[in-house]
């Protein structure tokens, strides 16, 4: 008997998954993308080597094209692109192994097995190797991982299907999609014509009762997700909060680093233009202000002062310029050098200035990007620095405090939390701002500042915005994004885009201009903010139970 064709279905699934995300953004394809891949779970006459190699090829078929935007940051980032794609693709054969293990239990529905395995590994992918909360008592915890391209992220354009994120995060959306794919796969498994065409014999025939139970489970998950979403979307109009302006210019990273004076001039121009209408808050993108370059140094031929070593608290030039030209609250994204009495530390920070130009408060980025903001294991493997975009020691120190900034709008005080760069891809940080911290109440809204000029107008810009929508729903707080090169936006707490710098998401990339509107204030609580990543914990509990029971058998 000819060997079953295992590579075409696996690779087809990888390509379908790629279609579900940007640049194609065919989100509904996610409902069927895993169906060919899941055929590998039930084939007979296939060696383990061929089965899992095919699954790995399916992962490569997705991650290689999906992550190609990484290479645009710097020539050395070609290595990072390949390394990340090769490691992320390994989760496909791991998922297949877990699915097959759980599928041995006759009482365990196939959609449940697929959803449990897929979501469990998405959680691992988001935190591996040192981002797991249980490592905190051991002193080994550092926010790290790759929280992009979850299955649930494909549905960002369908508000009714993502509201369930305030119960269990994006994990519940991925769970529903994985179960739905498994239901369709079981239907296809029963097609004799399909088996003959692709030589997909089953390891065992599926009982009709089990198939009906599986279909009922998957359809119930979909209907509950949709029904809950429609219920959550029916609410009174949100209160209108402070008027904010997120300014966006268009600087590629090499231009940004090579012309800091030009960078300051452009963002200062946009800031001064926005300040004419006296908004309550103007927001600059990440690292678009340097303490070395203030108004007095932005003139051609002027001497540059030494770098400020005190976190901007005593930068007289900046305070004077802010008072004379901006006269409103301004949030600056800045790279800082700070002297602690023994050595100088680098920080990626957000600094809030009051309308009189004085220093208000500061947030230091907590979730640093490996090879972008620090070199992992550089003491043990110093050669790793050659795979970074820099040749100098640029390593940043992670922040330790979730700062809650406060501003006034008329007679009302509003508070907000800041997420810098890819911190908006990490669910943990955003949802913490929906909780009281023992002193202050939950914040009124969130701000994300980012510098996406590394990626030169690729699909990274749009995908980054799509992921940020889930943070708004999970935390039930509007998010204001200020992003160099785009896409800046205001997202309400239902995950809907409220304002863009231009007519559409695609046209907003490379656009120079402001995003202006009043932030919508949502006072709803979030169960996910309180309960945390319970869906992932439940999945791993079921996986552990499945291993124990199958081992006994």
Span 439-463, pLDDT tens digits: 788 999 999 999 999 999 999 999 9
Residue 159 sits in the same domain as residue 274:
no
User: Is residue 419 domain-resident?
Assistant: yes
Task: Please confirm whether the linkage preceding 487 is cis (ω < 30° from 0).
Answer: yes
pLDDT per residue over 325-337, tens digit each?
999 999 999 988 7
| pLDDT (average), residues 389-416 | 83
Confidence (pLDDT) at 187? 82
Name which of 509, 511, 513, 516 is nearest 462 in CA terms.
Answer: 509
Kindly report the CATH number assigned to the domain that includes residue 306.
3.60.110.10
Q: Given pLDDT bands bounded at 50, 70 and 90, which one contains residue 192?
A: low
Same-domain pairing of 230 and 245: no
For residue 95, what are the domain limits?
A: 7-235+533-552
Using alpha carbons, select from 139, 120, 10, 116 the residue that is nearest to residue 63.
10
Tell me which range, 93-107, 163-177, 351-365, 386-400, is most confidently predicted by mean pLDDT: 163-177
pLDDT of 197 over the 70 cut: no
Higher-confidence position of 265 and 212: 265
| Vertex 450 angle, CA 261 and 470, to 5° | 165
Domain annotation covers residue 393: no
10 Å CB burial of residue 520 (0-12, 13-18, 19+) is buried
**Residue 347 is encoded by which pair of tokens?**
């920080």
Rg for the chain, CA atoms, rounded: 25
In a domain, residue 150? The reply is yes
Say whether both 312 and 217 belong to one domain.
no
**398 CB-side CA count, 13 A:** 16
Q: How many domains does the chain have?
A: 2
Q: Do 78 and 198 lie in a common domain?
A: yes
Instruction: Name which residue leads in pLDDT, 221 or 140.
Output: 221
312 and 254 within one domain: yes
140 and 278 co-located in one domain: no
Per-residue pLDDT, averaged over 311-335, amounts to: 82
- Residue 191 is assigned to a structural domain of this protein: yes
Residue 187 and residue 326 in one domain: no
Same domain, 477 and 542: no
Residue 526 domain flag? no
Asked whether residue 178 falls in the same domain as residue 286, the answer is: no
Q: Is the pLDDT of residue 203 over 60?
A: no
Average pLDDT of span 505-509: 96
User: 426 in a domain, yes or no?
Assistant: yes
- Answer yes or no: is 373 within a domain: no
Mean pLDDT for the chain overall: 87
Low-confidence winner among 9-18, 198-207, 237-246 (lowest mean pLDDT): 198-207
Instruction: Give yes or no for residue 191 having a pLDDT over 70.
Output: no
461 and 548 co-located in one domain: no
pLDDT at 280 over 90: yes
Q: Residue 418 above 90 pLDDT?
A: yes
Q: What is the model's pLDDT at position 299?
A: 39
> Are 440 and 411 in a shared domain?
yes
Burial of 47 (0-12, 13-18, 19+ CB in 10 A): exposed
* pLDDT, greater one: 128 or 148: 148
Residue 527 lies in a domain: no
Query: Do 343 and 477 sit in the same domain of this protein?
Result: yes
Residue 550 has pLDDT above 90, yes or no: no
Q: Which two tokens stand for residue 411?
A: 């007679």
pLDDT tens track for 39-88: 999 888 889 999 999 999 999 999 999 999 999 988 888 988 999 999 99
């Amino acid at each position: 008997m000819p060997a079953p064709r295992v590579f075409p279905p696996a690779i087809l699934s990888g390509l379908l998954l790629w279609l579900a995300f940007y640049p194609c953004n065919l989100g509904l394809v996610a409902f069927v993308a895993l169906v060919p891949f899941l055929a590998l779970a039930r084939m007979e006459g296939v060696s383990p080597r061929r089965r899992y190699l095919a699954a790995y090829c399916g992962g490569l078929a997705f991650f290689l094209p999906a992550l190609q935007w990484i290479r645009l940051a710097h020539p050395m980032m070609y290595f990072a692109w390949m390394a990340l794609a090769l490691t992320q693709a390994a989760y496909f054969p791991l998922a297949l192994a877990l699915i097959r293990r759980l599928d041995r239990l006759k009482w365990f529905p196939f959609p449940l097995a697929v959803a449990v395995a897929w979501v469990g590994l998405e959680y691992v992918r988001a935190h591996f190797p040192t981002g797991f909360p249980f490592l905190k008592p051991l002193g080994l915890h550092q926010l790290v991982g790759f929280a992009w391209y979850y299955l649930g992220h494909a549905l960002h354009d369908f508000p009714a299907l993502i509201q369930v994120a305030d119960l269990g995060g994006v994990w519940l959306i991925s769970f529903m999609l994985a179960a739905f794919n498994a239901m369709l796969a079981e239907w296809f498994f029963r097609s004799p014509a399909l088996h003959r065409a692709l030589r997909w014999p089953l390891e065992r025939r599926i009982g009709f009762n089990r198939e009906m139970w599986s279909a009922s489970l998957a359809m119930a998950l979909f209907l509950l997700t949709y029904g809950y979403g429609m219920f959550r979307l029916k609410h009174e109009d949100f209160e209108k909060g402070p008027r904010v302006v997120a300014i966006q210019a268009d600087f590629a990273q090499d231009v940004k680093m090579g012309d800091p004076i030009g960078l300051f001039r452009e963002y200062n121009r946009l800031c001064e233009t926005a300040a004419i209408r006296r908004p309550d808050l103007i927001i600059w993108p990440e690292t678009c202000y340097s303490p070395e370059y203030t108004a007095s140094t932005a003139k051609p031929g002027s001497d540059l002062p030494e770098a400020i070593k005190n976190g901007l608290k005593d930068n007289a030039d900046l305070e004077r310029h802010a008072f004379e030209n901006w006269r409103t609250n301004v949030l600056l994204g800045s790279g800082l050098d700070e002297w602690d009495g023994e050595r100088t530390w680098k920080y990626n920070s957000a600094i809030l200035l009051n309308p009189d130009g004085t220093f208000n408060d500061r947030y230091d980025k907590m979730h640093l990007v490996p090879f972008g903001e620090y070199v992992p294991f550089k003491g043990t493997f110093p050669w790793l620095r050659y795979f970074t975009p820099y040749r100098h020691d640029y390593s940043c120190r992670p922040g330790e405090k979730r700062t809650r900034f406060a501003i006034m709008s008329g007679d009302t005080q509003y508070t907000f939390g800041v997420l810098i760069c890819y911190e908006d891809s990490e669910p943990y940080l955003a949802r913490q701002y929906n909780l009281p911290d023992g002193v202050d109440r939950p914040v009124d809204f969130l701000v994300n500042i980012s510098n996406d000029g590394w990626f030169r107008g690729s699909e990274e810009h749009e995908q980054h915005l799509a992921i940020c929508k889930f943070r708004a729903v999970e935390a039930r707080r509007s998010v204001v994004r200020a992003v160099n090169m785009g896409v800046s936006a205001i997202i309400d707490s239902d995950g809907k885009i409220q304002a863009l710098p231009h007519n559409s998401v695609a046209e907003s990339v490379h656009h120079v201009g402001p995003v202006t509107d009043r932030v919508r204030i949502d006072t709803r609580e979030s169960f996910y903010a309180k309960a945390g990543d319970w869906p992932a914990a439940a999945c791993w509990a079921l996986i552990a139970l499945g291993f124990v029971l199958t081992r006994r058998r």
